[in-house]
Structure 1
């Protein structure tokens, strides 16, 4: 059961899958609550937050495997742009006034949330970030023609070596995905326990698909984990066996994911990435770039600690692109 300042109203204001209460129960059990503004019976603004403490510091940061968790606003029948922006400003200010005390707050807003000026006026650091999106999955021929030629070659090559299969084996899928991170010497951010909770919740609602590329010897070359809401399929997690990378299986896997997504939804969201190598791969599937905003606010002590962290990265020569993931 999620923490709450008040009993939940009968209608939940949400812009998609990652704001749903059941999703938050899976990724942040017993550690999330929602800040709301509801002048009448219906909610006009809703902001689910996840609170945590570490070394005596208070954090409001996104839970794992949740790419967007910013405010959702409803401005009713405001037709004029000026009136809508005015209402959004009032709602955001009310939400900010209801936030608990924190040392650091960081949030990634959904792409539909664009009025960040009230956050800037409140002292937040506002940074644009990018994902890649296919807006219309209805025409497979057009999608195929939109692929970069090297991706089409990889797909043709992989079709001779592997078969794409749907599976219920979340453990095997995560084992393969973890190999991608092991290859670059980092631990997978997709903890099995959290993935199993997500999988149980999504399976119950028939809004996920696990895909694997398997060859005739039974070896799994790559795996993807997809989730979806009524409008969009999201590439939540994926990876490949480094020893089998030359098969082209991951390109085939992504293409099959896009094709299958079109059965259920109109859009496909690659959920990132700003890492150069990953961005280049996603872009090769003909997707358009879509911006969204990261909002950060820190107290004085946290600013000092964060500056020290950045200095340490500079002195040691460690890769700053870790923060772009």
Structure 2
């Protein structure tokens, strides 16, 4: 069964504090489908979500052998059985990668839709970093290349092995922008330790000439793909070349490891225009959601009064 790093049991245990649940479908003694999830609470409401730091988490299905249409039908049936096992909650929200299982995972969206869930697209860019560095550099927008070359004269990038420093920098930056974090960082040190032990995660940090941090990003990888998972920048950084240099450093790291780089979510046209300069291809994820009254009514009211709020992963 093809999975992402987010489906790994060690990942799910680390990010959830061991509180992950699963729907499971078996054929005889063999597991042919599983769907991990966690519960969270908002006041009296019980929510079924993905754990923190987990940006894609859908069904894992063994669609077996045979013709594509046979495997597609089999996957649909297994996914529906997984959904039917999910407990009743005020809201269900998951993000799916439809490229899994040779693209057959697209049918998962239909399975959730059939079970009264809404299905909406989420966009990201994916860069094939298995190409040569010359090809990757040539794929960059001309002005972006110039910004990176200029930034290399002022800034330097190095890895950071202190997760608490990343957390502190991230939260201070949010405060400086007048925002609060929707992410709980309690499990982040454990997650970082697990990633480092498996050599599948790194914090890249960008520093200025005074050795002051300007921006940081947490990269994780597995099963052929690296994710630009969590990034933050100082409010005092107005140099787009600095952020471009950090992104280029991530591209080079993915190239070194022979991976695709997923830039992990686009939430505005401005972000799309910036990320399009790095030579990636647009990729679509599926966000499935099912809300019940009165929780959906409460969320609607909140949305009317928070229209200017920036998007963060939750």
Specify the alignment match of 1:176 in structure 2.
Answer: 169
Contact 2:157 2:205 in 1 (8 A): yes
Specify the alignment match of 1:111 in structure 2.
Answer: 98
- The runs of 4+ residues in structure 1 deviating greater than 6 Å are none
In the TM superposition, residue 234 of structure 1 has moved relative to its aligned partner by 0.8
Specify the alignment match of 1:90 in structure 2.
Answer: 77
Contact 2:15 2:51 in 1 (8 A): yes
2:103 maps to 1:145: no
Specify the alignment match of 1:318 in structure 2.
Answer: 307
CA distance in 1, matches of 2:175, 2:136: 32
The number of aligned residues is 308
Greater RCO, 1 or 2 (C-alpha within 8 Å, sep 6+): 2
Contact 1:44 1:73 in 2 (8 A): yes
CA distance in 1, matches of 2:306, 2:296: 21
CA distance in 1, matches of 2:53, 2:302: 24
Cα distance, 1:227–1:241 mapped onto 2, change above 3 Å: same
Cα distance, 1:247–1:300 mapped onto 2, change above 3 Å: closer
CA distance in 2, matches of 1:175, 1:194: 14
Specify the alignment match of 2:229 in structure 1.
Answer: 236
Question: Which of these residues, 249, 254, 279, is aligned with residue 286 of structure 1?
Answer: 279
- CA-based RMSD of the aligned residues comes to 2.2
Question: Which of these residues, 49, 59, 62, is aligned with residue 50 of structure 2?
Answer: 62
In the TM superposition, residue 265 of structure 1 has moved relative to its aligned partner by 3.2
Cα distance, 1:177–1:158 mapped onto 2, change above 3 Å: farther
Contact 2:216 2:232 in 1 (8 A): yes
CA distance in 1, matches of 2:266, 2:89: 28
TM-score (norm 1): 0.87
Specify the alignment match of 2:31 in structure 1.
Answer: 43
- Structure 2 unaligned runs (5+)? 100-104
CA distance in 1, matches of 2:306, 2:157: 41
In the TM superposition, residue 236 of structure 1 has moved relative to its aligned partner by 1.0
- Structure 1 unaligned runs (5+)? 1-12
Question: Which of these residues, 87, 96, 104, is aligned with residue 100 of structure 1?
Answer: 87
| Deviation readout 1:17-48 (Å, 9 max, x if unpaired) | 00111111111113211111011232211100
TM-score (norm 2): 0.90
Cα distance, 1:261–1:136 mapped onto 2, change above 3 Å: closer
Specify the alignment match of 2:102 in structure 1.
Answer: none
CA distance in 1, matches of 2:67, 2:258: 28
